[in-house]
Amino acid sequence: MTFETVSTAKAYGGTQGVYRHDSTATGTPMTVSVYVPPHKEGQRLPVVWYLSGLTCTHANVTDKGEYRRACAELGLIFVAPDTSPRGEGVADDPAYDMGQGAGFYVDATQAPWAPHFGMWSYVTEELPALVATHFPADMDRQSIMGHSMGGHGALTIGLTLPERFRAISAFAPIVAPSQVPWGEKALGGYLGDDRASWRRHDAVALIEDGARVPAMLVDQGDADQFLEEQLKPHLLATACEAAGIDLTLRMQPGYDHSYYFISTFMADHLAWHAERLR
């Protein structure tokens, strides 16, 4: 399978690259951003996965996430995939919260989404194999983070694969998609009406059903316009408390849902990940 370099640039002594490859999980070309910090020849480095939110491509966090200085200092590879398949033959929805740019990190089972919307398999199977092949990655040291819909992806993937991900964190995540409009629309569309099939794609439900990790870090702005209707972090706090999961939930006064918020706390999250990836 070809893995094509779209661009590379030196940053903080390392390399910020953008790459494109044909994906069997989505049946489309996919674009991914990877930052490799400065390192010694032959050295293998831990990998932090960053999953983005609604409307994003790989480029939003690459341009505005301000992760490179911390990744260079901490020796972390930072991988930022796209949020969905894209292109002319790919189903879409006129709204921003469904279809292209809104893959929700599930493998869709329903028409018209099922042929291309295989983002769970893409992020958990296909892309990790490519990262292992093409970068100096130590795949025994991985962690995962994300924002909003990507926070949902990070929490659900991290909770499902605790043996793979040593740390999970999120910025303003959708913690209980089955209980909020964004999630009800997306999971209903991609997975169908049987709500039982949604539970493995809902962080709160996964914890209620027995998923366990040692710890999670979540930052949430209290001026986030989506806080009350879509995000509801207290549902995660309640589930973690009942399950004995050590959740650090930090309500950040005055911060909204944007990359100004994410970039403010990015270095903090990366340091938290690096500690667990040593």
Ligand X SMILES: N[C@@H](CCC(=O)N[C@@H](CS)C(=O)NCC(=O)O)C(=O)O
Min dist CB 228 to ligand X, Å, is 14
Min dist CB 60 to ligand X, Å, is 4
Catalytic residue, chosen from 148, 152, 201, 269, is 148
Question: Quick one: which of 31, 36, 33 has its CA closest to 12?
Answer: 36
Question: Quick one: which of 265, 190, 185, 173 has its CA closest to 226?
Answer: 173
- Cβ atoms 202, 156 nearer than 8 A: yes
Residues of the shown chain interacting with ligand X in the complex, contacts defined by CB under 6 A: 53-56, 60, 96, 147-149, 257-259
**Active-site annotation holds for 148:** yes
Q: Which is nearer to ligand X, 101 or 118 (CB)?
A: 101
Write the secondary structure of 75-130 as one string of H (helix), E (strand) and C (coil). Answer: CCEEEEECCCCCCCCCCCCCCCCCECCECCCCECCCCCCCCCCEHHHHHHHHHHHH
Strand segments, DSSP code E, in the chain are 3-11, 14-22, 29-36, 45-51, 77-81, 137-147, 165-171, 215-221, 246-252
Report the distance separating Cα 235 and Cα 231, nearest Å.
9
Min dist CB 259 to ligand X, Å, is 5
Min dist CB 66 to ligand X, Å, is 13
Q: Which is nearer to ligand X, 53 or 189 (CB)?
A: 53
Q: Which is nearer to ligand X, 238 or 258 (CB)?
A: 258
Six token digits for residue 6? 């779209």
Q: Which is nearer to ligand X, 91 or 149 (CB)?
A: 149
Q: Which is nearer to ligand X, 257 or 269 (CB)?
A: 257
**Active-site annotation holds for 224:** yes
Catalytic residue, chosen from 97, 107, 202, 224, is 224
Min dist CB 257 to ligand X, Å, is 5
**Active-site annotation holds for 257:** yes
Report the distance separating Cα 251 and Cα 228, nearest Å.
13
| Catalytic residue numbers, as ranges | 148, 224, 257
